[in-house]
Amino acid sequence: MSHSKSILKYPSLLIFLLTSVIAFSQNIKQSDLEARRQELRLEIQKISKLQAENKSKQKSQLSLIQEFNYKISVINNLIKLTNQQANLLTRDINNNQKRITSLRKELENLRKDYAGMIVKSYKNKNQQSRIMFLLSSEDFKQAYKRLQYIKQYSNHQKEQGETIKAKTLELQEVNKNLQKQKNDKQNLIAENRQLQKSLEKERVEHQGLINSINKNISLYTAQIREKQREADRIDREIENIIKAAIASSNKKAGKTTATTTTSSSTFALTAEEKVLAASFVSNKGKLPWPVEKGYVTLGYGKQPSSIDKSISIQSNGVRIATEKGAKVRAVFNGEVSRIVLIKNANPVIMIRHGNYITAYKNLSKVFVKEGDRVTTKQLIGEVFTNPSDGETVLNFTIFKEAQTENPATWIYKM
């Protein structure tokens, strides 16, 4: 007989197995949600701390809007996640309550059976002793069978007692877990109430800021366009530098567009550079942040402005708000390919990792020089702090050849 047929003969066993699998998967999901919840709570604390540190500074309205937008999105995510946890706990609580009802019924039946066995055993003891029961056998074979029966009955009685004890302990444990789950759910509900209040406060301040900006929207629209032009100018310069580096690598390798169609757009890598590039790729999603503390105020890609939805912002990397004096770290082993000094802009460090390049923009200090070999998390510079508004923002970009990639897919939990 197959295993599946054997299981079907015992539906209670199948139900137990299914319940166990569901409970196990729910426990994993609950722990994942809790881990993510703690991350979001830390993220909110981090934003609040950086906001408090820069409170004395007169920040630009655009920066404040970005901060509000990001903080509101994190709080919203945290509220959704705590709701998920609470709903999952509700299901767990309901399952445990059903399990408690089932266990109580099992215990009641077991105790009845056990009580019946004790009474029967007592009556048998009064009517005749075990020895007489054996001696009254007609032959040795019957006596042996009666002896086996006595042993089996005694063992069954003992097993029944052990089963009752185990079920009682299981019931106590389920009750204990149920109480903990109820407490956890109450804590989540209380936390969500606080989050809702916090969210409402942030939204009121955010709306007040929007109303203030709308009174002079043309001024802020001009500022956004100017910032976009400045970012595009720096990005074009970096792109030209990368294209020149690609051409140089192909020339050194003796490749030309006549012999290799892709040579004009890809690096000609040495064996060592290929190993480095492969190692960089294998760490995708696990790279450290380029600053120890910070949060993303502007993500990657084309997106509408938070001030004027008719204006699109093209971001080839991410903007990371951090604390004053924040040190910049290399996100992976590589070679400093260029220290870029652009007119009317702060220094940029470019680090090459085979055919990948990471760019660290808006620096006030540079701790490395071109040609230096750097290691993961090595300090390479310091982020510039704008003296007029106290903003400390690192612009970070990742390139494959001359094409940008989303840093959020490369940096750990960005």
Q: pLDDT tens digits, residue range 103-135?
A: 778 777 767 776 666 666 555 554 455 555 555
Q: How far apart, in whole angstroms, are the C-alpha atoms of residue 274 and residue 265?
A: 16
| Stretch 298-315: mean pLDDT | 86
According to the model, what pLDDT value does residue 190 have?
Answer: 87
Summarize the confidence of residues 134-153 as an average pLDDT. 67
pLDDT score for 150: 62
Terminus-to-terminus CA distance in the chain, angstroms? Answer: 53
Check: CB of residue 296 under 8 Å from CB of residue 320. yes
Count the neighbouring beta carbons within 10 Å of the beta carbon of residue 152: 10
Burial class (CB in 10 A: 0-12, 13-18, 19+), 291: buried
Question: What burial letters (b/e) apply to 36-45, b meaning 16+ CB within 10 Å?
Answer: bbeebbebbe
Torsions phi, psi for 270 (to 5 deg): -80, 170
β-strand pairing of 379-383 with 301-304: unpaired
Tell me the β-bridge partners of 381.
Answer: 328, 366
CB 62 within 8 A of CB 307: yes
Q: Which CATH number fits domain 230-409: 2.70.70.10, 3.60.20.10, 3.30.450.40, 3.40.50.920?
A: 2.70.70.10
DSSP for 299-332 reads: -SEEEE-SS-TTSEEEESSEEEE--TTPEEE-SS
> Cα–Cα distance between 414 and 409 in angstroms, integer?
8
Instruction: Check pLDDT > 90 for residue 101.
Output: no
Overall average pLDDT of the 395-403 stretch: 97
Question: What pLDDT sits at residue 396?
Answer: 98
340: enclosing H helix or E strand: strand 334-340
Asked if residue 298 has pLDDT above 60, the reply is yes
What pLDDT score was predicted for residue 336? Answer: 98
Would you state the pLDDT for residue 7? 45
What six digits make up the tokens of 16? 């137990």
User: For all residues of the chain together, what is the average pLDDT?
Assistant: 81
- The pLDDT assigned to 338 comes to 97
Q: Which residue has the higher pLDDT, 146 or 91?
A: 91
pLDDT at residue 10, as a whole number: 45
With b meaning 16 or more CB within 10 Å and e meaning fewer, what string describes 307-331?
bbeeeebebbbbbbbbbeebebbbb
- At residue 85 the predicted structure's pLDDT band, cuts being 50, 70 and 90, is confident
Mean pLDDT of all residues in 34-51 = 82
Among the ranges given (215-224, 228-237, 376-385), the one the predictor scored with the smallest mean pLDDT: 215-224
Comparing 324 with 66, which gets the higher pLDDT?
Answer: 324
Show the tokens assigned to 396.
């970070």
Tokens representing residue 177 in the block: 């877990």
Model pLDDT, residue 273: 96
373 backbone dihedrals φ, ψ, rounded to 5°: -90, 130
Q: Which residue has the higher pLDDT, 397 or 71?
A: 397
Structural domain boundaries in the chain: 3-214, 230-409
Q: How far apart are CA 370 and CA 290, in angstroms?
A: 19
Complete edge-to-edge strand list for the sheet that includes strand 379-383: 327-329, 379-383, 363-366
Determine the pLDDT at residue 245. Answer: 94
Residue count of the chain: 414
Percentage of the chain exceeding pLDDT 90? 35
pLDDT band at 200 (very low <50, low <70, confident <90, very high): confident
Q: What is the pLDDT of residue 269?
A: 95
DSSP 408: G
- Report which of residues 138 and 409 the model is more confident about: 409
